[in-house]
Amino acid sequence: MLNALNREPVGATPARLAELTGIHRTTVRRLLETLQDEGYVLRSLSDDSYRLTIRVRELSEGFRDEHWISSVAAPMLGELLNEVLWPTDLCTLDGDTMMVRETTHRFSRLSFHRAMVGRRLPLLETATGLAYLAYCPEKEREELITLLAGRDDASGEIARNRELVNNLILRTQRKGFGENYMNWNAEENIASIAIPIKSGDKVHACLNIVYVAKAMTIDQAAEKFLPAMTRIREKIEQGLAEEG
């Protein structure tokens, strides 16, 4: 089913997919509903067509990026910790959330969380999520926002307010980093700033620094930590380029 949809870049109706695959139309629709529930396809209400979402990248990429995270990024996070002291995370896109893939929380004496690897962070309520959305290609951004708008939670409510989303994206692009100052209810006492790690137009990951909000404002954190974060990002991007 996914292979058939991949050959139809503008989408396909259940009837067309039944024709392509030889599967009965009723079974095709049931499979599409399952894939939609899992976030792999989107249905157009205007013509009842279905198309793939960016989440299908997980199926082909899997965890092939583990190597560069462990070999390139992890040592750099340790170097950053020595300079900034507050814990940092390296997060990658996972479906319609960001996932913590590497962290210095377990090493930082200022950390308030130890088990962070594997934790999912919402795109529109966290610094890493906003950094990703602001700097990923426009087409990918629109697909993610559309996917988020279908959620029945705080992320979905934000995503359906396009004026608010556009303002968040423009603010992030203008400042050059994502920010969260007690905006995420799950962590309402923390603040964070984050920057993207890129090659060309592709955002591979986002790098953040997390601190107790009462310790400093976002602008103070940016002035204090962004130079070091930017240097580490450049080293990680250089390492990525050398790995090819």
Domain count, the chain: 2
Q: How far is CA 181 from the centre of its chain?
A: 18
The mean predicted confidence, pLDDT, of the chain is: 87
What is the distance between the alpha carbons of residues 35 and 209, in angstroms, rounded to a whole number?
A: 35
Same domain, 43 and 147: no
Q: 41 and 22, same structural domain?
A: yes
- At CB < 8 A and 24+ separation, what contacts does 220-224 make? 221/191, 221/193, 222/175, 222/177, 222/179, 222/193, 224/84
Q: The domain containing residue 107 runs over which residues?
A: 60-243
Cβ atoms within 10 A of the Cβ of 56, count? 16
80, 197 Cβ separation under 8 angstroms: no
The band of 56, judged by pLDDT with boundaries at 50, 70 and 90, is: low
Predicted confidence (pLDDT) at residue 227 exceeds the cutoff of 80: yes
**Would you say residue 175 has pLDDT above 70?**
yes
pLDDT confidence bin for 205, thresholds 50/70/90: very high
Does residue 35 share a domain with residue 102? no
- 49 pLDDT exceeds 70? yes
Average pLDDT over residues 188-213: 93
The domain that holds 199 is classified in CATH as: 3.30.450.40
Strands 50-52, 88-94: pairing is unpaired
Amino acid present at 60: S
Q: Are residues 73 and 177 in the same domain?
A: yes
Q: Indicate whether 83 and 14 sit together in one domain.
A: no
For residue 12, the domain's CATH number is: 1.10.10.10
Tell me: do 162 and 202 sit in the same domain: yes
How much is the pLDDT for 10? 66
pTM exceeds 0.75, yes or no: no
Tokens of 79: 């170097």
> How confident is the model at residue 63, as a pLDDT?
43
| Residue 186: per-residue pLDDT | 65
Share of the chain above pLDDT 90, in %: 49
What is the 3-state composition of the chain as percent helix, strand, coil, each rounded to the nearest 5? 50, 20, 30
Examine the domain organization and report whether 41 and 69 are in the same domain. Answer: no
Helix or strand or coil: residue 223?
helix
Q: Do 71 and 134 belong together in one domain?
A: yes
Same domain, 149 and 121: yes
Q: Give the rounded percent of residues in the chain with a pLDDT score beyond 70.
A: 91
- Confidence band, pLDDT 50/70/90 cuts, at residue 54: low
33 and 78 belong to one structural domain: no
Please give the structure tokens belonging to residue 168. Answer: 């968040």
User: CA–CA separation, 207 vs 211, rounded Å?
Assistant: 14
230 shares its domain with 163: yes
Q: Among 23-37, 42-56, 74-88, 133-147, which is the least confidently predicted range?
A: 42-56
- Alpha helices, H only, the chain: 2-6, 14-21, 25-37, 57-61, 66-68, 74-84, 127-135, 138-149, 154-159, 162-175, 218-243
Residue with tokens 């930017």: 230
Residue 240 — pLDDT band, cuts 50, 70, 90?
confident
Do 31 and 139 reside in the same domain of the chain? no
